[in-house]
Amino acid sequence: MTSRPAVGDLRRARARVLDWYGPRRSLYPWRRTRDPYRVLVSEVMLQQTQASRVVPAYRAFVRRYPTLASLARAPRSEVIAAWNGLGYNRRAVALSDAARVIVQEHRGRIPSEPELLARLPGVGPYTAAAVASLAFGRAVPAIDTNVRRVVARVLVGVDPVDAASGEVRRLAARWVDRDDPGAWNQALMDLGREVCRPRPRCERCPIRGACRFLADGREPGPSARRRPPFRGSTREARGAVVRSLRPGSATTLGTLVARTGLGRPRIVEAVAALHADGLIEAGPAALAGSPRGCVRLRS
Ligand code: SF4
Question: For residue range 279-292, what is the model confidence (pLDDT) as tens digits?
Answer: 889 999 999 899 99
Q: Which residue has the higher pLDDT, 282 or 225?
A: 282
Q: How far is CA 112 from the centre of its chain?
A: 19
Whole-number Å distance, alpha carbon 6 to ligand 1 midpoint, is 18
The answer to whether the beta carbons of residues 292 and 252 sit under 8 Å apart is yes
Q: Which of 12, 17, 207, 216 to mutate to test the pocket of ligand 1 (most atoms within 8 A of CB)?
A: 207
pLDDT at 267: 92
Which atom belonging to ligand 1 lies closest to the Cα atom of 208?
A: 1
Whole-number Å distance, alpha carbon 40 to ligand 1 midpoint, is 30
pLDDT at 243: 86
Query: Rounded distance, CA 236 to CA 229, Å?
Result: 10
Ligand 1, CB within 6 Å, residue ranges: 150, 153-154, 195-196, 200-202, 205, 207-208, 211, 213-214
Whole-number Å distance, alpha carbon 201 to ligand 1 midpoint, is 7
Q: Which of 10, 150, 190, 199 to mutate to test the pocket of ligand 1 (most atoms within 8 A of CB)?
A: 150
pLDDT at 226: 56
Atom 8 in ligand 1: which residue has the minimum CA distance? 196
Q: For residue 282, which of 290, 265, 90, 91 has the smallest C-alpha distance?
A: 290
**What does DSSP say about strands 294-297 and 251-252: parallel, antiparallel, or unpaired?**
antiparallel
**What does DSSP say about strands 280-282 and 251-252: parallel, antiparallel, or unpaired?**
unpaired
Q: Which of 145, 189, 214 to mutate to test the pocket of ligand 1 (most atoms within 8 A of CB)?
A: 214
SS (H, E, C) 263-281: CHHHHHHHHHHHHHCCCEE
pLDDT at 151: 96
Q: Looking at the predicted structure, is the pLDDT value of residue 224 above 60?
A: no
Q: Looking at the predicted structure, is the pLDDT value of residue 2 above 60?
A: no
CATH number corresponding to 7-13+17-22+141-215: 1.10.1670.10
Q: Do domains 7-13+17-22+141-215 and 25-136 have the same CATH topology?
A: no
**Domain covering 234-297: architecture:** Orthogonal Bundle (1.10)
DSSP string, 146-181: HHHHHHIIIIISS-GGGS-HHHHHHHHHHHS-SS-H
Which atom belonging to ligand 1 lies closest to the Cα atom of 220?
A: 3
Domain ranges of the chain: 7-13+17-22+141-215, 25-136, 234-297
SS (H, E, C) 77-127: HHHHHHCCCCCCCHHHHHHHHHHHHHHHHCCCCCCCCHHHHCCCCCCCHHH
Question: For residue range 234-274, what is the model confidence (pLDDT) as tens digits?
Answer: 888 888 888 888 888 899 999 999 999 888 889 999 999 88
The CATH class of 25-136 is mainly alpha
Query: Rounded distance, CA 207 to CA 12, Å?
Result: 9
